[in-house]
Amino acid sequence: MDQAEQMLKENLRWRNQTHAEDWSEFREKYPYNLDTINKQGMPILTGNIGDWDLRAIAISGRSSQFIRYIDMIMEDAAETVTQFDFLVNMDNYNVITQGCGQCLQFYIALVNGGENHYPGLADKIVLINSPPIFGLVLQVIRPLMSRTTRESLKVLGQDKTQWTKVLWSIAERSQLRPEFGGTYRRKGE
């Protein structure tokens, strides 16, 4: 019982710490969206990771804060649901900005955070516009994933015809942003 109680206390401490920070700067530079639903009514979390400058974070000394931001994104997605779909656009991904040695810690933190705090939360994880070089990152993080996570992960290349078919099977076009092959735009965009 003591171990279970300790785990619960640690998890509550972690959640309080994650929500206590001001994330406005990170939200501006590293945006994500959680405002559409799939065909089953589950939320869709999207991010254009290829536009995120992970190397700048690593060399700025703000890695720990960014890892907490990643945790906060997951917490945001988990707040009101038991599962969601996670769609990631890898367009503009490059080794220097998103695949550098210092950047690997962010992918590892994403996987470890998901597995430790939100196991099975992502029903589907679909990466689109994934360049072949991203395979090196996958070689590092795949062994950290549970079997459930590995089975939910689909990595698609830059063939828009291929990945739009997959995404359209998950959500109506009206629930997908243009960069994900859809027509959804938030009011004011």
Domain borders along the chain are 33-180
Residues 47-58: pLDDT tens digits?
A: 999 999 999 999
pTM of the model: 0.87
* CATH H superfamily, domain 33-180: CRAL-TRIO lipid binding domain (3.40.525.10)
State the Cα–Cα distance between residues 174 and 129, nearest whole angstrom: 20
Residues 63-114: pLDDT tens digits?
A: 999 999 988 898 888 887 889 999 999 999 999 999 999 999 999 999 998 8
